[in-house]
């Protein structure tokens, strides 16, 4: 376990480092106005969309969304680990890395990894002594080598195996409960979560066991059981088999996403060792972004029934905002009553991989699925089809693929893009109408956040009444509070402090947004956006109080608030 580097030290290193020098030493960038620009080093493109801001010390790609500070650039471009990148930069700027002692929570979390390794070893040992478990694996066509490669084991049927065989003391029992391996009863005693099950260790990208999946060998339900969420396991972030796929392949030309553990290991048994599985959750953007670190070709495998079609559509829509021109997303739909495990055992590796070559590209599934919902047999259906397609295409990053999707939309509707835009907008009511891509503007919250990120001094222009009346959890309000405390902080430094990954991307995007506002009008635009947000929140509060008054009595405080809101509304006309 390594001690942590204080955030202040990391921020100091970033503030002392010139991101322009670091990037210029690796790729060619050209000064363009206040920023530097080049073709993105993280995806193929013909028109430069990669922008580096020297003042704010961060980069952002308008094509693929790549973003960050000098540390994240070294991690992504040089393939460095975080500590390696930090050490390299610290040496360049003469900063000594003094680690701070780990917190108690860090220590408790790190203690779980060796304990989970002991659990894995116990399950593997138990497999050797269970003829029933061995016979089951053989019946599924698995050899001992595949079982060894994936660390497959067996949890015996007794209720207190782990405590007994690992000779756990009270502290270790508590750790096993924290790790999800034991379940505490109301009486205070505990019992094994996995019993009479084939076990599949789930590893993180470093190969550490962080959880288990278990397949029942009896009548116990559910048939497949996963570890619960723990300090070291968050199922929405992890993919079963990814570590093993990386171990088996120096480079991953493609990755196949399937549904279950047995699909992954059965495919590996037949030489298809580049499959991964989600862990009881639908595919999400985090899963895909993790896969795209290792490959540019992802194939999703689904059943051919209605449920499979729906799952494919959900996977498709979450992929649209992160698609780059160099990424290929495809979909393989299996015959009825077949899964990857059963199909590969029936037809073999070569035939299965031929099916992978025939997997449908995302664009084909996109338009075929929409046409099933809105057959293009009438003007009304075309309008609805166009509206749905435009909304989804609008979530895609700018690039050649997005242009081609738009072109295919016009070909299918036999209409020009101007006609499609008119048809699409005609399906919305006045309150629902949104600007087209060409005229779309930022929301008031986004505009205020973008202005604040580019002009941090604006945080001092807001009075406490404005922030107190707003949603305190909103990104804008937290940015205002942060810039009030740290008015000189750059975006690059801010990104080292912000913990939320999704919000970091939003911050980078808004900080790089080109705002057509003259310098003299920045403050007025910012205060105007804040005023619109304040007015919107007041309307929401007013409506909520009016609705409540229809069904129940208001408190004295609520009556006073209602009176004040109504008075403000009259004053505003």
Q: 31-35, 313-317, 539-543: which range is least confident on average?
A: 539-543
Residue 473 to residues 66, 416, 467, 479, 494, Cα–Cα distance (Å): 26, 43, 11, 10, 18
Here the tokens at position 237 are: 């972030």
Please report the pLDDT score of residue 568 as a whole number: 59
The helix or strand, by DSSP H or E, that contains position 452, with its residue range, turns out to be helix 444-454
The pLDDT of residue 471: 61
- Contact indicator for 65, 322 with CB cutoff of 8 Å: yes
Q: Which of the listed ranges 159-163, 277-281, 382-386 does the model predict with the highest average pLDDT?
A: 159-163
pLDDT of residue 3: 55
Residue whose tokens read 């570890």: 227
CA distances from 273 to 71, 298, 531, 535 (A): 32, 14, 56, 57
By DSSP bridging, strand 67-68 and strand 58-61 are antiparallel
- pLDDT bin (cut points 50, 70, 90) of residue 2 is very low
Q: Name the pLDDT band for 485 (thresholds 50, 70, 90).
A: confident
Lowest-pLDDT range of 158-162, 209-213, 488-492, 555-559: 555-559
Domain 444-571, what architecture? Answer: Orthogonal Bundle (1.10)
- For the record, the structure tokens of 147 come out as 């079982």
Residue 152 has pLDDT above 80, yes or no: yes
In what helix (H) or strand (E) does residue 510 lie, and over which residues does it extend?
helix 501-512
Preceding peptide of 310 cis, ω within 30°: no
| Same CATH fold assignment for domains 105-234 and 444-571 | no
Pick the CATH number of 105-234 from 3.40.190.10, 3.40.50.300, 2.40.110.10, 3.90.980.10: 3.90.980.10
Residue 282 has pLDDT above 50, yes or no: yes
> Among 294, 282, 283, 284, which Cα is nearest to 255's?
294
Confidence of residue 570 (pLDDT cuts 50, 70, 90): very low
Higher pLDDT residue, 96 or 430? 96
pLDDT band at 565 (very low <50, low <70, confident <90, very high): low
Mean per-residue pLDDT of the chain: 86
Sorting pLDDT into bands at 50, 70 and 90, what band is 425? low
pLDDT at 464: 63
What does the pLDDT average to over 162-172?
Answer: 89
Structure confidence at residue 102 (pLDDT): 74
Name beta bridge partners: 38.
50
User: Does 324 have pLDDT greater than 80?
Assistant: no
Under the banding of pLDDT at 50, 70 and 90, the label for residue 292 is: confident
Q: Which of 525, 493, 486 is nearest to 511 (CA)?
A: 493
Range with the poorest average pLDDT among 339-353, 410-424, 452-466, 499-513: 410-424
How do strand 275-277 and strand 255-258 relate by DSSP bridges? parallel
Assign 571 to helix, strand or coil.
helix
Q: What percent of the chain has pLDDT over 70?
A: 92
For the CA atoms of the chain, what is the radius of gyration?
28
Selected residue with higher pLDDT from 365 and 7: 365
Predicted confidence (pLDDT) at residue 439 exceeds the cutoff of 50: no
Residue 451 in contact with residue 529, Cβ under 8 Å? yes
| pLDDT score of 141 | 95
DSSP conformation letters of 79-146: ---HHHHHHHHHHHHT----PBPPPHHHHHHHHHHHHHHHHHHHHHHHHHT-HHHHHHHHHTT--HHH
CA nearest 272: which of 310, 240, 235, 244? 244
Quote the pLDDT of residue 244.
96
Domains in the chain: boundaries: 7-93, 105-234, 444-571
Q: Is the pLDDT of residue 426 over 70?
A: no
- Residue whose pair of structure tokens reads 């009511």 in the numeric block: 429
Q: What is the pLDDT of residue 190?
A: 93
CA angle (115 as vertex; 131, 164 as ends), nearest 5: 55
- Using the predicted structure, report yes or no on whether residue 154 has a pLDDT greater than 90: yes
Tell me, which fold does domain 7-93 have in CATH?
DNA Primase; Chain A (3.90.580)
Question: Helix 501-512 vs helix 444-454: angle between axes, to the nearest 10 degrees?
Answer: 80
Specify the pLDDT at position 443. 79
Count of all residues that appear for the chain in the document:
573
pLDDT of 153 strictly over 80: yes
pLDDT(400) > 80: yes
| Residue 423: predicted pLDDT | 57
Going across the sheet that includes 328-334, the strands are 275-277, 255-258, 297-303, 328-334, 360-361
Report H helices in 4-103.
7-16, 19-24, 70-77, 82-93
Cα 324 to Cα 313: distance, rounded to the nearest angstrom: 19
Q: Are strands 297-303 and 328-334 parallel, antiparallel or unpaired?
A: parallel
562 vs 347, higher pLDDT: 347
Output the pLDDT for position 265.
97
Instruction: State the pLDDT confidence band at 432, using cuts at 50, 70 and 90.
Output: very low
| CA nearest to 329, candidates 295, 306, 294, 305 | 295
Which region among 117-126, 245-254, 262-271, 352-361 has the lowest average model confidence (pLDDT)? Answer: 245-254
163 SS3 class: helix
Query: What's the pTM value of the predicted model, to 2 decimals?
Result: 0.67
According to DSSP, the β-strands at 30-32 and 209-216 are unpaired
Nearest Cα to 70, choosing from 84, 51, 55, 89?
Answer: 89
Element housing 390 (H / E): helix 379-393
Provide mean pLDDT across the span 340-350.
Answer: 95
Kindly state the average pLDDT of the residues 65-77.
88
Which pLDDT value is given to residue 469? 53
Mean pLDDT of 462-477: 68
HEC profile for 308-360? Answer: HHHHHHHHHHHHHHHCCCCCEEEEEEECCCCCHHHHHHHHHHHHHHHHHHCCE
Q: Which two tokens stand for residue 549?
A: 């008054």
Residue-wise burial string across 483-512, b where 16 or more C-beta atoms lie within 10 A, e elsewhere: beeeeebbbbbbbbebeeeeebbbbbbbbb
Burial string for 328-346 (b: 16+ CB within 10 Å, else e) reads: ebbbbbbeeeebbbbbbee
């Amino acid at each position: 376990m390594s001690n942590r580097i204080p955030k202040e030290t990391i921020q100091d290193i970033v503030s002392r480092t010139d991101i322009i020098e670091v990037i210029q030493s690796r790729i060619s960038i050209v000064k363009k106005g206040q920023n530097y620009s080049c073709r993105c080093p993280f995806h193929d493109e013909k028109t430069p969309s990669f922008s580096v801001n020297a003042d704010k010390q961060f980069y952002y790609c308008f094509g693929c969304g790549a973003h960050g500070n000098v540390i994240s650039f070294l991690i992504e471009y040089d393939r460095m680990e975080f500590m390696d990148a930090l050490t390299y930069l610290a040496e360049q700027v003469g900063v000594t890395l003094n680690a701070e002692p780990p917190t108690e929570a860090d220590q408790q979390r790190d203690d779980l990894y060796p304990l989970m390794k002991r659990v894995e070893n116990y399950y593997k040992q138990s497999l050797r002594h269970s003829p029933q478990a061995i016979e089951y694996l053989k019946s599924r066509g698995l050899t001992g080598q595949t079982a060894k490669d994936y660390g497959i084991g067996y949890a015996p049927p007794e209720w207190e195996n782990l405590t007994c065989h690992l000779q756990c003391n009270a502290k270790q029992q508590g750790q096993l409960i924290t790790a999800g391996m034991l379940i505490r009863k109301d009486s205070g005693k505990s019992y094994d979560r996995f019993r009479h099950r084939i076990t599949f260790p789930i590893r993180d990208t470093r190969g550490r066991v962080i959880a288990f999946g278990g397949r029942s060998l009896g009548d116990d339900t559910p048939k497949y059981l996963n570890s619960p969420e723990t300090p070291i396991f968050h199922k929405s972030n992890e993919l079963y088999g990814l570590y093993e796929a990386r171990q088996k392949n120096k480079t991953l030309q493609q990755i196949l996403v399937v549904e279950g553990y047995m699909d992954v290991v059965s495919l590996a048994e037949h030489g298809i060792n580049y499959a991964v599985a989600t862990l009881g959750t639908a595919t999400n953007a985090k899963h895909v972004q993790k896969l795209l670190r290792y490959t540019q070709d992802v194939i999703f495998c689904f059943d051919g029934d209605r449920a499979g079609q729906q799952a494919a559509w959900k996977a498709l829509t979450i992929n649209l905002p992160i698609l780059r021109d160099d990424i290929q997303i495809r979909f393989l739909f299996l015959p009825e009553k077949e899964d990857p495990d059963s199909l590969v055992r029936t037809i073999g590796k070569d035939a299965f991989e031929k099916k992978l070559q025939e997997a449908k590209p995302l664009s084909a599934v996109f338009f075929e699925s929409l046409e099933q919902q809105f057959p293009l047999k009438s003007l009304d259906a075309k309008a609805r089809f166009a509206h749905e397609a435009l909304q989804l295409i609008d979530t895609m990053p700018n690039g050649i693929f997005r242009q081609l999707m738009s072109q295919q939309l016009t070909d299918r509707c036999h209409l020009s893009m101007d006609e499609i835009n008119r048809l699409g907008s005609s399906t919305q009511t006045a309150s629902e109408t949104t600007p087209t891509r060409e005229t779309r503007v930022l929301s008031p919250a986004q505009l205020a956040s973008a202005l604040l990120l580019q002009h941090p001094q604006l945080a001092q222009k807001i009075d406490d009444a404005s922030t107190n009346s707003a949603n305190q959890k909103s990104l804008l309000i937290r940015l205002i509070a942060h810039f009030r405390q740290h008015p000189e902080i750059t975006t690059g430094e801010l990104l080292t402090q912000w913990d939320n990954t999704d919000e970091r991307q939003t911050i980078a995007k808004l900080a790089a947004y080109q705002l057509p506002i003259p310098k003299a009008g920045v403050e007025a635009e910012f205060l105007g956006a804040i005023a619109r947000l304040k007015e919107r929140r007041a309307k929401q509060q007013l409506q909520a109080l009016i609705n409540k008054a229809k069904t129940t009595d208001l408190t004295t405080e609520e009556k006073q608030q209602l009176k004040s809101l109504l008075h403000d509304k009259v004053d505003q006309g």
